[in-house]
């Protein structure tokens, strides 16, 4: 079974240094692409007049063009010295190259879909098949630096592995974008009077999904040695800030407060990572980490709701939700480390 313990820091050879420089180019292009996507989501959230020819769509597709230029440009540049086109692809970027073409096909599909069925509204925009194809293309593109770090066996602290951590953050942000209909950013969970059954169930299921995404991605990165101390603060903090800014409907002080909640949850997650040192050789600590990470996030979140915003939800609903999110994380951890004989 693959170890979940990060490898020891080493000095990168020249070829890896050049690879890291390319990783940063892809990170910049991916930020452009996701920025356009989030701008589009912001416009949808405010119900602004929409068509294919909008400034946020222009930013989104410009981000794709930049990403395609960086990824395919590297392949074209290396092709004269490579035996085949495949050999010209930077190590770890095979999926990103596929993603460029998947997104291109998805863009054509999206135009045809809009022509046939019109512009999607509200949650329909997150479920549209053409948008899901675009999302798949984006996921493949932004995962490039993470997969490249795995291919090179990159190790070290947060500074050395920051491109991989940012790539992981981009993946989480893509997943939370497409699950915007549920989870901690769909609305402020726990506010208002005692919820009806539909609201309670939607909140529960949304937080279960969010917990599984966070723990699953964290354990995948941990397994490959790309979850250094500090990475959870970056992962949860940047994702929370991006999602909150995209939603943008709450007062500024509330947005700042819940951005700080995401950062604080990530920071405490890093403390857990440091103290527990989870690995497959320390399964009890691994399971404890997977349970505690979503518990910490939601406990801080709901505590701020109760103390800062006000809540009519019962103590049973609030504490039960926190506990069950931890159970979801615990169950996910058994995918990575099973029971020992």
Digit-coded pLDDT (tens) for 290-310? 999 999 999 999 999 999 888
Q: What is the pLDDT of residue 221?
A: 95
Residues of the chain predicted below pLDDT 70: 1-18, 47, 49-52, 338-341
Structure confidence at residue 115 (pLDDT): 80
pTM assigned to the model: 0.90
Query: Cβ neighbours of residue 107 under 8 Å, at least 6 residues apart?
Result: 61, 64, 134
pLDDT at 290: 97
Res 183: pLDDT: 87
> Is residue 27 within 8 Å of residue 20, measured between CB atoms?
no
């Amino acid at each position: 079974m693959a170890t979940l313990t990060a490898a020891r820091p080493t000095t990168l050879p020249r070829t890896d240094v050049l690879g890291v420089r390319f990783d940063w180019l892809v990170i910049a292009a991916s930020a452009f692409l996701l920025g356009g996507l989030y701008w589009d989501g912001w416009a949808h959230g405010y119900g602004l007049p929409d068509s294919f020819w909008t400034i946020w769509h222009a930013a989104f597709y410009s981000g794709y063009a930049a990403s395609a230029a960086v990824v395919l440009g590297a392949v074209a540049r290396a092709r004269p010295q490579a035996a085949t086109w495949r050999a010209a692809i930077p190590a770890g970027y095979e999926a990103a190259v596929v993603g460029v073409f998947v997104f291109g096909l998805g863009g054509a599909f999206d135009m045809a879909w809009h022509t046939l069925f019109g512009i999607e509204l509200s949650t329909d925009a997150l479920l549209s098949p053409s948008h899901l194809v675009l999302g798949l293309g984006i996921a493949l593109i932004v995962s490039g630096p993470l997969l490249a770090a795995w291919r090179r066996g990159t190790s070290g602290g947060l500074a050395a592995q920051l491109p991989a951590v940012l790539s992981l953050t981009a993946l989480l942000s893509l997943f939370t974008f497409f699950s915007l209909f549920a989870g901690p950013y769909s609305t402020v969970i726990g506010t208002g009077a005692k919820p009806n059954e539909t609201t309670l169930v939607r909140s529960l299921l949304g937080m279960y999904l969010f917990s599984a995404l966070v723990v699953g991605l964290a354990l995948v990165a941990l397994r490959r040695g790309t979850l250094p101390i500090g990475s959870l603060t970056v992962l949860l903090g940047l994702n929370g800030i991006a999602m909150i800014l995209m939603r943008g409907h709450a007062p500024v002080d509330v947005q700042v407060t819940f951005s700080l909640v995401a950062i604080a949850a990530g920071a405490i997650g890093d403390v857990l990572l440091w103290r527990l040192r989870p690995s497959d050789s320390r399964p009890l600590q691994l399971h404890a980490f997977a349970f505690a990470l979503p518990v910490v996030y939601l406990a801080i979140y709901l505590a701020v709701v109760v103390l800062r915003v006000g809540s009519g939800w019962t103590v049973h609903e609030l504490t039960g939700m926190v506990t069950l999110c931890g159970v979801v994380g615990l169950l996910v951890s058994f995918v990575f480390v099973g029971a020992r004989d």
